[in-house]
Structure formats: C-alpha cells, structure tokens
Structure 1
Amino acid sequence: MRPVWTSFQFILESLPQIAFTIRTDGKIEYVNKHWFQYSADTQAFPDIHPDDHICDQWQKHFENGLEFSGETRLKHLTTGDYKYFLLKIIPVLQHGAIVRWVGTFTDIHQQKIANEILEHKVELRTRELLDKNSELETTNHELQQFAWVVSHDLKEPLRKIQTFSHLIKDKYLTGNDEAISYLNRSISSSARMSRLISDLLDYSRLSVTAHFQPTDLNALLDELLADFDETIREKKAIIRRAHLPVVETIPSQIRQVFQNLISNALKFSRPDVAPQVDIRCETIPHKELTGATSPGGPFCRITIADNGIGFDEKFLDRIFVIFQRLNNINAYEGTGIGLAIAKKIMDKHNGLISARSTENEGSEFILVLPFVQEQAPAPVKTEN
C-alpha cells in the first residue's frame, strides 16, 4: 500500500489546487504545498469568512458518508484578503467502506468577481429598462391624451371654417364663380385637414393594449362592404370574395386594415375602368408572404387584389411609412396614413403585410395572420 499512497501524494502535490486528505476520524491526514498559503498548521483548516457556514454543511455530509461541494471564502495568510474557492470533498472507498476523504480548494475568485460584476450590471440594466418602460408607458398615455385633446381642439375650428364657408358661399357669393372657386378650395383644404387629424388620432390609439378574441372575418367583411355599398354602386365595382376563416384578432383594428385596403382599391381605380376587387384566402404552414399552402397550417394568408392604377414596386418600402404618398394629392384624396396604420396593426397581430404591383395594372396586398395569438395581451379599457 505504501507505493500506492506515495503515488497518490505525488498526484496531489502536482495539482494547481489546494489538496488534502482526511482520515475517517475527521483528522487531516495530508496537505499539499498550496495549503500553506492559507494555513500555517497541517491540522487546522484555513480561516473561512465568518459569513460562510461551509464547515457545518460539510460536517453533515461527513457524518452521512456523502460527497460534498460548496463555495466559500478563504483568508490568505500574507495579504489577509479573502478569496473565493470551490471546496470539493469525496469519499475514497475500499471494499465498500470509506477509508479516507480527498478534498480540493479550487480558486474561483476571478470568475466569482466577474460574475458578481456581471450580475450587478444586469441588475442595473434591468432596473434602467424597467424605469424606461415605466417612462414610456407614462409618455404613451400622455401622448394619447394629448392627441385626443388636440384633435378635438383642432377639429372644432375646422368645423366652423367649413360651416361658415358654406354659409358665405350659399348666401353671399351667388353668381361670383371666382370667389366660389376660392372658397371651395378653402373648404376642401379644411376637410383634408380634418381627415388628417382623424387619421393621426387613429394612429395614436394603436399603442393602447386591447383584447384579442375569435373573429369571423366573413361577418366583419359583410359589415364593411355594407358601409361601402354606395361607393361600390357609384363606381360599378365588382367584389369577389372567398370564404374567410375565424382568426384571433382585435376586431376593430383588423376591420380598419380591411377598410383601408378596400377603400384604396376603390379609390385608386383607373379612369373609365370599373374597379374589380378579389379577396382570396389560403392556409399556410409558416409565417411567410409566399410559399406552399397547408390545410392544417397555423397561419392564413389573405390577398386583396385590384385592377387599379398600381404603383412602381421600387416604392414598396415607402408605402407603409406614415405621410408617404405616391399619388397626386389633387387627383386622389387621402392623408398618407392609412397603410402606416395597417402596418402597425399587422405588427401588433404578430402578422405580416406587403404588396405586389404593376403600374396601370393593379395591386395585390398580402396579409399573413396567425389563427391563434400565442401571447394575447391582457384586456384594458381603451379611452374614447
């Protein structure tokens, strides 16, 4: 046994860690050279930080013959500084019985300090993010309140401008075509400003959390087309539609998406060409604008196609940006916010929106929606 024990001591002596052995009676049997950086006595454990209770924990494992592992801080004999170590003690068995224990102290000080610094930074960053989120929520609420108040304060004088302009035109300008023309321009401009304010208010409301619920898109489309009934008759438009699914949405918002797209399809029609709008739907396996269909897929892809004036696809990135217009404001009314609203709503629904188009041939707008929202926000009351 002596040669084996000598070899074992040689191995322990060559380790970079503090190494030691303990007899079955709990007395220290052997220590390597690194021991003496932290203890001057071969029979005395190094000084352990008073806040660490690792000796009590080890004693329970020793009494039950169990392997032990734990972190502690040891006091350096020369500097008096405490450093972090990982203590591991395992039993050595012979014929099923414990004959001694072998232990090591592994220096983990730099790793521990680095982890503490990292944890501190993460804690600070988390606190900063929570503070920023709280500030953003407050700011969003204030902006919503501001948008609501301002929209009403701005709309009221606009209504008066339009009302009194009509009165002046009807009562005092009969036969004065030039004055009527000027006044009509003023009325049109104020009406356009009123629409812009309404659209801005709609855009600001999208940041308010709302409740997702199963929505029959067929019923939603029925209501919407009923609202467009007069425009459809006037333009002799043809609407073709496929059966649409039930999807988890915020109904008022997804209605706005369909309303904006169908309104554009009817508005941006070619002169002397009756608008045709085709609404198609397919089930797909992945959240993508193109690709194969799948009967049991978790997403639906809805296409709203028209035969209108279209646009150059090099401007595709611009059409979903607020206040971006590709058409003459005098030829086609609008505020340049509708598609930006649609994009924001689709993002909020974890969906996609894009378009394909050819000038003077028509456009296709593609919507991708999940049938079920994975994480629906908690319902809150929206303010009117």
Structure 2
Amino acid sequence: MSDKIKQTLTYADAGVSIDAGNAFVGRIKQAVASTTRPEVIGGLGGFGALFSANFQHMQEPVLVASTDGVGTKLLLLQQHGRPHVAGIDAVAMCVNDMAAQAAEPLFFLDYLATGKLDGETLAAVVEGIADACRVCECALIGGETAEMPGMYSPGHYDIGGFSVGVVDRPNIVDGSTISDGDVMIGLASSGPHSNGFSLIRKLIEVGGADISHDLLSDGTAAIDSVLAPTRLYVPAVKAMLKESVTVHGYSHITGGGMFDNIERILPEGLAATVDISSWPVPPVFEYLLGFADVEKHERYRTFNMGIGFVAILPADAAEKAEAVLREAGETVYRIGHIHRRDGEPVTLIG
C-alpha cells in the first residue's frame, strides 16, 4: 500500500460554497416575500413550492404554463452590469406569452446558473424578478441557484424563467374568433425587449458603436434604450378583462416579429394588413439599423420595431379598448385590419 498522504478537499475547494449559497438565499428572502399571494403556503427553503389554488370564481379553470429566457441580450446586460433588467425580462417573456391568451399569471420560478456565485449580482437579478412579479401580481414562489465551476466564464450567468397561470375557459383568447373586418391595436414596446439581440450585437460590432456613450436622436442614452427592460403587458390585459372588452386575439410580438406572431393566431382563410406608418419607429431602432443595410422584411421579422403587443378585436370595440388601454398606462396605435386572405398571411404597407 502507498504511504502517500491524500490531499484534504472540501466542496469549496472545488469551487462551490454552500455557505455562500445559504447567505444568498437569506439575502433574497425579502424580495421574494414582497411578491406573495394569499394562495402561497410557506416560504423559501422547502423541497417544492406550495400554492393552494382556489378557482371557485371560475366556471372552468384552465392552467397555462410558459417558460423562456433572456437570450443573448444577457451578454450585453452582463457586459454593462444590468442584472436587474435580466430579472425583469425573464418574467416578462413568460407572463406576456400567457397574457396573449388572457391568462392571469399565478406564480413564477427561476433558474439561475453561474460558475462562481456572485451574491451581489444574482441578488439584483432576483430583485428584478420580484419587481416584475409585483407588477403582475404574480408570486415568486421558488427557484434554483446553481453554482457550477467550469461551466461559465467569470462574471457570466444564465437565467431561465418558468410560470404558471390560469384562465377561465370561456375567457380564453386564442384567435379562433378573429373575423374579417376586425381591427388591430398595437401597444408600444419599451425597446427591442429580449428579441433580436444576436443581430443587435452584430450591428453594434459592424458599426463600431459605443452604446455606453452614444446618444439617440432624441437625446436619450443609447444604452438605456437598447437595454431597456421588456414591457409587462399583464396589467393591460387584466384591465381589458375587467372592463369586459371583446377581444378576438392577442399577439406578443417576440421572435418572428410582426409576421410570425400575428400569423400564428389567424384562422384559416384570413390575413392581416399592418400599416407601419401608423406608429413612430422608436429612435433606438433607427440608431441600431443605421449601422448596416437591413431589408424591411428582415427588420419587421426580427424586431418588434416599436409594437410589443397587439390586440385584434371587432371594429365597434376599438374605441373602448383604446380608452381602457390608455387608462392602464399603455401607448396605443390603430395599426391595421383583418380581411379575407388572397395572398400572404401578413402584409406590411406604409
């Protein structure tokens, strides 16, 4: 037998600190608690999150689930030290998709992974998550923070979001009732949201841009608009439900832009014409698209170009809808109409 003395090792020696993980959980408890709902049982620390659902006010409750991430926007958020935005975006990309079916988000869980746990940075991510959850009245009931040495470059982390909501079956909005003659109302975006950032990063590279110091045409800082958090449309949809506005379809304008996200909810035989002159293209898109020649179809297929959410509804409900949405804090535009299809499913004019 060898007399060689074995090296003493701990988990911390391998790059994982259980103590740091426990301290991190202690730090975020207040942020998590600020999002609680009456249905939440217990708090952080359990093997599973408990939620006592009560749907007695609904005829036929249907659960809706969504999961998403922040995409390559995360690289710029890390580069420029904006973890709070990463948290907001992780929530927004999930709950906005559920809002497009008129569902109310009930709870949210996050998955955070990093090579070495930086409590300050990841706590800011969770605080961003909590801020977004409060806006949407959605409980942050659990999550996982994984410290995985060797998996990520120093200073890098990844985030995934998971959410569950509910909608009463008679209130589901899935596009099936969209009709010839319906109008389209666009809700303004806050910027690129969390889509198209692989192209955005390429545009910045090609243009040699310095988003930390560049200004947009309206004088605002480029970095604040390029990395603005994704707008949360849950309150707007809740307001429409509360005021009993008839809506035939909602579309969250994410990857695929105007084309894919509107086409996906159109019934067979119908098409949409979108008048792109009906809303002003925000300066952030003019700034980014000034660095290279990006064809119009590609622009509106990749970016939201200023419209982050669309409501499709009967023409006689449009004025009421616009009033409700403005009261809810949205900037709205009448952007197009639905008609019988005799060509492409989505056509841009203007």
TM-score if structure 1 supplies the norm length?
Answer: 0.20
Query: Which protein has greater RCO, CA pairs closer than 8 Å, 6+ apart?
Result: 2
Greater Rg by CA: 1
Instruction: Identify, as 1 or 2, the structure richer in helix.
Output: 1
